[in-house]
Homo-oligomer: A and B are copies of this chain.
Amino acid sequence: MAKQESFAFATRAESAASGRRARHEAKAPPRTKRPPKQPRGRTSAVELAKKQRDISISEFFAKNRHLLGFDNPSKALLTTVKEGVDNSLDACEDGGILPDVRVEIKQISETRFRVSIEDNGPGIVRAQVPKIFGSLLYGSKFHRLRQSRGQQGIGISAAGMYGLMTTGKPIAITTRTGPKRDAHHFELVIDTKKNAPKVKRDDVIEWDKEQGTRVEIELEGAYRGGQHSVDAYIRQISLANPHAQITYVPPKAEEHGAEHVFPRVSDEVPAETAEIKPHPYGVELGVLMQMFRDTKARNLRSCLQIDFSRVSPRTATEICSRAKVPPSRRPGEISREQAERVHQAIQATKIMAPPTDCIAPIGEELIETALRAEVRADFYASATRRPAIYRGNPFLVEVGLAYGGDLSGDDPVTVYRYANRVPLQYQQGACAITKAVIGTDWKSYQMQQSRGGPPVGPMLIMVHIASVWVPFTSESKEAIAHYPEIIKEIRLGLQECGRRVATHIRKRKREAEEAKKLAYIEKYIPQVAVGLEHILGLTERERNTVVTRLSDVLERSRKM
């Protein structure tokens, strides 16, 4: 029974004193023939077959609502606000409008809230309202590669579904596409078994707003403070969206008599981002075959040029010849084997990196401004990396950092995580950003750090990843998946800021040491002088001269 290094379990199992272990048999022996005891018959294949049925996506998410961020009442309230605000900001940017978003949370009973989110966006065409708000997996953002907050077509309808599940109340939508158009008011519910909307009310109403959308959802929730709160979200989303004005009316605002306005600090809508085609390097064989079946192009060469980014006529020809498939081949007639050769040819051909005008960073300057507004620190740094690629998708990382000042020095640093300008408040442990922060050697940047842990010290780190497709670890979009390319870029951004903060810390340390030495000198020289006064019988004037001269001498020698 030879040990085999390739199987970790073999040696461990073999070392076991008793019980179960892996048997290693030479040359694949006949499989065990002992018929296992069959203690009882239970369900036959036929009976099992009767129970097989389709599961609607709404049923699936209703039962798995923690996947969408509705694990518990306080998170449900946050997720509802978040989905509404994300949609409002996206809609305004799509329409080239400076967003003016109003978030209002009314507490109806101890556990029940009514959330309303109102924007000045382009509004929604009447016929689209039911599907957008009353079915999951419907939207305009999924089938394009373009940077936006929403990307799945799930968020707001899931919030409406959660409201319905917990209170039985429909979601209400008021929308108007312009001053000359009617304002429409809908109330609708989702039929989870069919994943389809049921409209309960559909009226034209008077609305003092010229254009925009207002969504209202009643839900079981809880209003809490802290890191995961709606308050923290509103502050963080406002930090990353300086072009938006956000008005926030928290529960019990009447009592406190206040609404909170986060004014616009930049009058520019973020640069319009372009929609892009997939880059050939990121396309897998099966997907390529699907594209050949679906394309409108008449031949392989034009398919490569039209359906992909960065494929010039010359590159297309090069790919065809390398794959030994005629450029004139009709894409629908390309066999699996030919497709495989095209796929290999793509990998072997030099193709320009994807365009990057599809990504709109916040920018180093605005990140630093945001950090200054967030916390009074001694030192600020920010870095916007150049775009990079994961699985064919362009993305870009930005890092901001504040050090010292009001920040507490005894705890692990605070990390603000953002994806496409949306704060990520949950699942910190599962996020690529956390992994990159932990994986960075902060000791070389003058910070404390224990093995496998975050740095400790008076520091706030802000990391933003912008992409045409952010790979979240779940539908609730709380953490970024661990793609190595993404982690690397975050680490490089952290290092860039880390080096700068290290220079600052070193300088501060030097200054502190100087100050300490100076304090020593100031403390002891008078004592020395008093000693000399006694020993040498100096006058008071002579003693003072000695103090001054000694101080000068020592100060000079200290500086050398």
**Contact A137-B57, Cβ < 8 Å, known A71-B482, A474-B474:** yes
- CB of A290 within 8 A of chain B? yes
Interface string of A59-91 (1 = CB under 8 A from B): 110111011000100000000000000000001
**Contact A32-B261, Cβ < 8 Å, known A42-B272, A51-B144, A137-B60:** yes
Given B16, B96, B225, B373, which contacts A13 in the complex, CB threshold below 8 Å? B373
A128 to B252, CA, bound (A): 55
**Contact A12-B374, Cβ < 8 Å, known A36-B100, A66-B481, A429-B429:** yes
Determine how close the nearest CB of chain B comes to the CB of A171; give it in whole angstroms. Answer: 12
Determine how close the nearest CB of chain B comes to the CB of A291; give it in whole angstroms. Answer: 12
Of A243-251, A297-305, A416-424, A496-504, the one with at least 4 CB within 8 A of chain B: A243-251
Q: Are A284 and B165 in contact (CB under 8 A)?
A: yes
Q: Are A37 and B267 in contact (CB under 8 A)?
A: yes
A11 to B193, CA, bound (A): 47
Q: Are A45 and B177 in contact (CB under 8 A)?
A: yes
A8 to B228, CA, bound (A): 11
- CB of A379 within 8 A of chain B? no
Each complex incorporates copies of this chain amounting to: 2
A281 to B289, CA, bound (A): 50
* A/B interface sample: 29 pairs, CB < 8 A: A6-B256, A7-B260, A8-B231, A10-B260, A17-B376, A21-B262, A22-B260, A22-B261, A23-B260, A32-B263, A38-B98, A39-B269, A43-B94, A43-B96, A44-B122, A46-B125, A48-B124, A52-B140, A53-B138, A53-B139, A55-B139, A56-B137, A60-B152, A66-B473, A71-B481, A163-B286, A168-B286, A220-B284, A429-B430
A93: nearest chain-B partner, CB-CB = B42
A 156-196 contacts with B by CB, 8 A: 163-169, 177-178, 192
- CB of A534 within 8 A of chain B? no
A159 to B472, CA, bound (A): 20
- CB of A204 within 8 A of chain B? no
A261 to B203, CA, bound (A): 68
Q: Which residues of B contact A232 (CB under 8 A)?
A: 8-9
Q: Are A229 and B46 in contact (CB under 8 A)?
A: no
Q: Which residues of B contact A127 (CB under 8 A)?
A: 49
Q: Are A257 and B168 in contact (CB under 8 A)?
A: no
A430 to B53, CA, bound (A): 31
Q: Are B290 and A258 in contact (CB under 8 A)?
A: no
A372 to B284, CA, bound (A): 45
A124: nearest chain-B partner, CB-CB = B45
Q: Are A38 and B250 in contact (CB under 8 A)?
A: no
Q: Which residues of B contact A96 (CB under 8 A)?
A: 38-43
Q: Which residues of B contact A44 (CB under 8 A)?
A: 95, 122, 177
A514 to B340, CA, bound (A): 72
- CB of A339 within 8 A of chain B? yes
- CB of A317 within 8 A of chain B? no
A370 to B16, CA, bound (A): 10
Q: Are A7 and B67 in contact (CB under 8 A)?
A: no
A430: nearest chain-B partner, CB-CB = B430
Among A51, A168, A238, the most chain B Cβ lie within 10 Å of the Cβ of: A168
Report, nearest first, the 10 A-B pairs whose CB atoms are least far apart.
Answer: A19-B373, A429-B429, A42-B96, A165-B286, A51-B140, A36-B98, A9-B235, A20-B373, A49-B125, A45-B177
A21: nearest chain-B partner, CB-CB = B373
Q: Which residues of B contact A51 (CB under 8 A)?
A: 140, 143-144
Interface string of A457-490 (1 = CB under 8 A from B): 0000000000001011111000101110000000
- CB of A450 within 8 A of chain B? yes
- CB of A557 within 8 A of chain B? no
Q: Are B253 and A59 in contact (CB under 8 A)?
A: no
A20 to B20, CA, bound (A): 65
Q: Are B43 and A120 in contact (CB under 8 A)?
A: no
